[in-house]
Amino acid sequence: MQDERTLYGRWRETRLVGGHPALDFTNSVSDRVACAEAVDRLGSLADLADWARSAGLTVPPSLTNDLSRVGDAAGNAVIRARTLREEAYAALSARAQGEALPPDSLAQVSAIAAEGMANGSLRWPEPNDLSSLRLERPDPVGLLGLIAWQILDALVRLPGERLRVCPRCGWLFFDSTRGGKRRWCQMRTCGNREKAQRHRQAKSAAA
């Protein structure tokens, strides 16, 4: 998996197609099928902060600049964010495929959620409403905790029979269509690429 240390600013709409912040977080890798060619879009604390704001999490408006001042010289928060993402993917993809949740992944996500709450940077005015959970100060541990709570919410609240794994890129998404027939993360990307590939294969076979 390639690394990409580039500031993206606001994440493009085409990268936030999961239907839930936890699913969009797992999709911060460009491709999970062609892993050797994949780009990891969580290359810095700024990338993580920009993603959180663009995904709709309740964070301070100046989070990106604030975190740059806090600093993360050892890159520990970025490494932990990537680890959290992979544990989330393991758990959510298992749920999507009707498999048992991996206990180790669930334990790691829960531990990060608890750590974020314990350090005092998160505020939860209405404990029965996850949307009220917010990051009140620019703290990497708190930010990871906020994301971990989103992952737990997705595991508990999203119906497993509506979770999907895109067969072309491996991204996760929630199928909210009336008939539950959505197949691709995005028709204009993976769907069209699949159609083009089939067309090329058909022409080759005919030739």
pTM: 0.86
C-alpha triplet 110, 58, 103: angle, nearest 5°: 15
The single-letter DSSP state of residue 102 is: P
pLDDT of amino acid 21: 96
- Half-sphere CA count of 70, side-chain side, radius 13 A: 21
**CA trace torsion 130, 132, 137, 141 (10° rounding):** 0
- Domain 2-206 = CATH 1.10.3300.10: yes
What is the distance between the alpha carbons of residues 177 and 108, in angstroms, rounded to a whole number?
32
Cα–chain-centroid distance for residue 111? 18
Domain ranges of the chain: 2-206
pLDDT of amino acid 87: 98
pLDDT of amino acid 32: 92
pLDDT of amino acid 64: 85
pLDDT of amino acid 186: 86
For 82-136, the pLDDT digits (tens) are 999 999 999 999 999 999 999 999 999 999 999 999 989 999 999 888 889 999 9
Q: Are 122 and 133 in contact (CB under 8 A)?
A: yes
Give the residue ranges of the chain where pLDDT is below 70.
Answer: 1-10, 13-14, 72-75, 189, 191-207
pLDDT of amino acid 189: 66
pLDDT of amino acid 201: 47
